[in-house]
Amino acid sequence: MKTFLFVALVAGVGGVGGVEPRAFTRRVALGGALAIGMVGQQRAAFAATNPREKLLAAITSDAPEAMVMSAIEELVPLDPSKGLAAKSKALDGTWRLLWSAGADKFSPLLGLPRGIRPESMQLLGTSATEAVGTDRVANLLALPGITARLSSGVRVADDNDALLVILPPFRFEVLLPGGAQKTLFEAGSDADFRKLNARDADAQAAGRNLYLQRYLDTSGKPGDLRVSTIVAGDPVIVGSVFVHERVA
């Protein structure tokens, strides 16, 4: 924006001081192109040296999964929550899914290309309490005309302040226009929920899902980033990685 304003202001004085307009225009164009090029180089250099911007640049450019994962691993050691993300007040809020690896195992729709992939949101803390009750987490998927919402219980692990334990009951609802909502099913155990999702006997018998919060920006403002992964539980989704951005 500053570059644009600078070029616009200079262009506005064309012909002043006896300068031939065409020559001045060529000079402005050249100067503007150089300035824009420098800004682009500065941004690229900043992204290359700033792990957070590097990750965002990789996601925005639809870089290969390996490149995004590499950027994640570079960012995680800088975790502003210092390994306390699961119990941090900064975890509370509404988070939009920016990028994921393995999320299509939750829903094939999340594996669609950006632009046609439905928006996925996650509610934690106070935001979740207002929507689905105390000590719960809610995941929402926006579909044409309706929103699908899956909620479950959640608590901080006893031995790890970065780890969330996902608990029953699991409730799957659809939110309809006008505020109406309909519960499609509720499962009172991990095994029952996984059975509903056509998991085999081994998956049904596996322990509870553990959701590790590896990185959390702690400003509490829109734009904060969060990186998390499923580290135990349902073997079909273990290893799934998520990058969320706070929207509220």
Together in a domain, 188 and 227: yes
The end-to-end CA distance of the chain, in Å, is: 26
Together in a domain, 40 and 111: no
Q: Is 11 part of any domain?
A: yes
Together in a domain, 42 and 90: no
Together in a domain, 151 and 239: yes
Cα–Cα distances (Å) from 216 to 18, 91, 224, in that order, read: 58, 7, 7
Q: Is 62 part of any domain?
A: no
Q: Please, where are the H alpha helices in 62-189?
A: 65-75, 126-132
Write down the pLDDT at residue 13: 26
Together in a domain, 36 and 140: no
Together in a domain, 23 and 107: no
Together in a domain, 220 and 110: yes
Write down the pLDDT at residue 32: 56
Q: Is the peptide bond before 235 cis (omega within 30 degrees of 0)?
A: no
The strand ranges marked E within the chain are 93-101, 120-124, 136-143, 146-157, 160-175, 181-187, 210-216, 225-232, 241-246
Together in a domain, 227 and 105: yes
Which residues, 6+ apart, have CB-to-CB distance to 86 below 8 Å?
156, 157, 160, 161, 162, 163, 164, 213
Together in a domain, 104 and 197: yes
3-state DSSP call for residue 115? Answer: coil
User: Quick count: other Cβ atoms within 10 Å of Cβ 217?
Assistant: 19
Residue 189 CA to residue 160 CA, distance in Å, equals 23
Total domain count for the chain? 2
Determine contact, residues 81/88, Cβ cutoff 8 Å.
yes
Together in a domain, 85 and 28: no
Q: Which residues of the chain have pLDDT under 50?
A: 1-24, 28-29, 35-43, 46
Residue 121 CA to residue 141 CA, distance in Å, equals 7
Q: Is 55 part of any domain?
A: no
Write down the pLDDT at residue 112: 78
Residue 224 CA to residue 210 CA, distance in Å, equals 22
Determine contact, residues 171/150, Cβ cutoff 8 Å.
yes
Rg (Cα) of the chain, in Å, rounded? 24
Q: Is 57 part of any domain?
A: no
Q: Is 196 part of any domain?
A: yes
Write down the pLDDT at residue 113: 79
Q: Is 64 part of any domain?
A: no
3-state DSSP call for residue 197? Answer: coil
Structural domain including 8 reads: 2-49
Together in a domain, 45 and 107: no
CATH number at residue 197: 2.40.128
